[in-house]
Amino acid sequence: MDTEHEDSLLTRVAEALRGHGLTVAVDRVYESPPDRRGLTWLRIGRWSGRYEYAAAAWQRLSRATVGSTVAQLRHPRDAGAPPVLLVTEYVTPPLAELLRGHEQQFADAAGNAYLDTGGLFVYVTGRKPQPKRLAVKEVRRFTTSRLKVLFALICTPELVAAPYRLIAAAAGVALGSVSTVLAGLQRDGLLLRTEGRRCLCADKRLLDDWAHGYALGLRGKTLSGRYVAPHFAEWRNWRLNPEQARWGGEPAAKLLGCDLSPSVLTLYGDRLPARLVTREALAAAGPVAYENLLELRRPFWGPSLCTGERHATVATPLVYADLLATGNRLCVDAAENVYDTYLARRFPSR
């Protein structure tokens, strides 16, 4: 979000909070590092109390991005720092419940808010946005080509220094799009050139940026079918050929050691193996089916990319992103477990 839109959003959110009888002061801190959120302090007062928040302006929020948003706002946190307040255009009642379940405080321009710190508690939902509120622009940096290339680089960071044709083959994109994507990554500070050699800035910011973009712009395109699985509870006994299908999402998290009972089974593959369909009596799910579901998702990477440290699951960054995309608190906690166990060393929080 550019500074002009962020300032406008903060002004309207502050005014909406004042409508609840609160005093609000907005203090911009321009000298803070450009890659850190919470560059604006909101000082909120009520009666004799005064409470500080580090405001994090978010342009777009949906159920699919709640998990990645919360994960980004949790890290990094300095000891003694004030709580982070998510500031956005509009939070629907279902999203408000999700955020409250994650204990993520928020305030929007319509007057919806969840504040819970010290002696202050405010919870307002159901306020409608103004009809003429600022239109949300599509975030161009979340293009399909960029997300695919970035995923390939996240799985194999050393690939960033390879010739364009190898990057294109691993990412499953057209050769001509690689230079555009890499130029964009360099412009956004995610890729550096040192002595003529490209280097990926592999930290948690990069991982979360990709997970957020994946939930927003690519994940929905990967879903190719939903099925009812009568033998849902015995999924770990299913005999799968990893060349045909690999576990993602919740079952992958379970296989990676998370204390999580899958509510949905996720498989990545071009199609369900015929033997699996017959043996497990899988049937196409109707639009209102919500129990014992198996979702099949198409792989979006190139055949030359090594996508899994473990044979039975997709790459751990994809497992992490799938868990965050559910928005479910247990899944977000599992995503943090996957990060701490498998990804923190490769993508440190700075």
Specify the pLDDT at position 310.
Answer: 65
E strand residue ranges, 80-190: 84-88, 106-108, 113-117, 120-124
3-state helix, strand, coil in the chain (%, to 5): 40, 20, 40
Rounded Cα distance, 260 and 263, in Å: 9
User: SS3 of 222, please?
Assistant: helix
Specify the pLDDT at position 167.
Answer: 96
| Pick from 126, 51, 134: nearest CA to 85 | 51
Specify the pLDDT at position 216.
Answer: 85
User: SS3 of 143, please?
Assistant: coil
In this structure, are residues 155 and 317 in contact, taking their beta carbons and an 8 Å threshold? yes
| Pick from 64, 138, 148, 61: nearest CA to 107 | 61
Q: Could you tell me if residue 82 is left (phi over 0), alpha (psi between -120 and 50 degrees) or otherwise beta?
A: beta
Specify the pLDDT at position 266.
Answer: 97
Specify the pLDDT at position 309.
Answer: 60
Specify the pLDDT at position 42.
Answer: 87
**Cα-only R_g, the chain:** 22
Per-residue pLDDT tens listing for the chain (350 residues):
667 778 888 888 998 998 888 888 887 654 444 444 446 888 898 877 888 899 998 877 888 889 989 988 886 666 567 899 999 999 999 999 999 999 999 999 999 999 998 888 999 999 988 764 434 444 456 789 999 999 999 999 899 999 999 999 999 999 999 999 999 998 888 888 887 789 998 889 889 989 999 998 899 999 999 999 999 999 999 989 888 999 999 999 999 999 999 999 999 999 999 999 999 999 999 877 889 999 999 999 998 886 656 679 999 999 999 999 998 889 999 999 999 999 999 999 87
Specify the pLDDT at position 249.
Answer: 96
Cis bond upstream, residue 317 (ω within 30):
no
Q: Which residue carries 């690939």 as its tokens?
A: 159
Which token pair is 129? 């946005």
Q: pTM of the prediction?
A: 0.77
Rounded Cα distance, 285 and 226, in Å: 5
φ and ψ of 139, to 5 deg:
-85, 105
Specify the pLDDT at position 101.
Answer: 93
Q: Which amino acid is at 345?
A: R
CB proximity list for 250: less than 8 A, separation 6 or greater: 260, 262, 263, 264, 265, 266, 322, 323, 326, 331, 334
